[in-house]
Structure formats: C-alpha cells, structure tokens
Amino acid sequence: MATIIQKPGLPEIKDNSEVKSFLNKRGIQYDHWPVPSNSNSLTDKLTLVDEEKEALLKNLDNRFETLKEKEGYQSRDLIVLHPQVPGLNEMLAKFDKVHYHTDDEVRYIVDGSGIFGFALSGEKFLVKVEKDDFISVPKNTNHWFTLDENKRIKAVRYFQDMSGWVPNYVEETTALV
C-alpha cells in the first residue's frame, strides 16, 4: 500500500482509501491491484532474463488490455532495477530532479518500492509506492522519482506515445518545505 509523506508537521497518510482520495483530488490516479500469485516466482527474483520479463508481462496482460481499451495505451514494458544494475545511479539521476513529461507516466509496481515526489501548486509531497500499487501521473505534472533505501523495484510501464516520456526539467527543489 502506498504512503503519502507530507511536509514536516503533517501526518503520513497510509489508509488505502485516504491515499486514493488525497491523490485523486490532485489529479493523480492511484489504485491497488494485487499481483497474481502465479507471478511470485518471477517477482521474487532479483534479476529476470528477457523471456522471464515477457512471461511476467503476459501474467499481467489483463491490466494492459483494460488500459488499452479505456485509456488508449499502446505499449508496455517491464523495468527491473536493483543494486547490481550497471549504471543504476546515473539512470536514476535522470529522474530524481523535478521534471514533467508530455505523456502520462503510468506505473504498476509488481515488486519492490520507490518514491514519487510531487510539486503541485505550491504543495510538495512524496508517495512511497510498493508492490501492488498502480499510479498514473498526468502529463505536464511536476514530479520526480527515486528508489528508496532498498534500491529495488519491478514496474510495468505503460505508454500511449514513447516520445512523450522524455523528462523536461524545471527549476524547483525536491525539499518538502
């Protein structure tokens, strides 16, 4: 279940319905989709070869078919990050600064965890996502992403248009103040 971390002095939000309401009020779609148990042998592995990635994506195709039909998504892939990925810190450095995309950023976390940060209309907050969390960040929304202390995540990425997924950086700090 996701956790909302607000500026100092404000409480964390952990209740699933409260997280969903908090994010929906800010235009961010959130849901909790349990990963099918027949995927555990793949989600529990640190690394996956291409055939295993495709098998995991096939196990989750019902989600992709729904998103294709309702939202027009055209493609999806699986990103697998962990401490042994070569160049991990350089890869993460592209997204740990405030930026936006011209396409929605849609993620279904199937293992591990990470942190999305948001800077919206003067408000900043973090959303810690973990296994079973689905989040859709609308296009042109200022945000950033980093892994947490575990440095491990498997996430399905859904795309309407791959060209819209380039980060456009903005001058904004990630500090929650």
The whole-number average pLDDT for the span 119-138 is: 96
End-to-end CA distance of the chain: 25
CA–CA distances in Å: residue 100 to residues 91, 110, 137? 16, 23, 9
Q: Is the pLDDT of residue 109 over 80?
A: yes
Q: What's the confidence (pLDDT) of residue 164? A: 65
**Predicted confidence band of residue 3 (pLDDT cuts 50, 70, 90):** very high
Which segment of 32-36, 64-68, 98-102, 137-141 scores lowest on mean pLDDT?
64-68
The whole-number average pLDDT for the span 124-134 is 98
CA distance 104 to 65: 17
Q: Provide the whole-model pTM.
A: 0.94
Q: What is the pLDDT of residue 73?
A: 87
Q: Compute the half-sphere exposure of residue 169: CA atoms within 13 Å on the CB side of its CA.
A: 8
CA 11 to chain centroid: 22
Per-residue model confidence (pLDDT) at position 165: 73
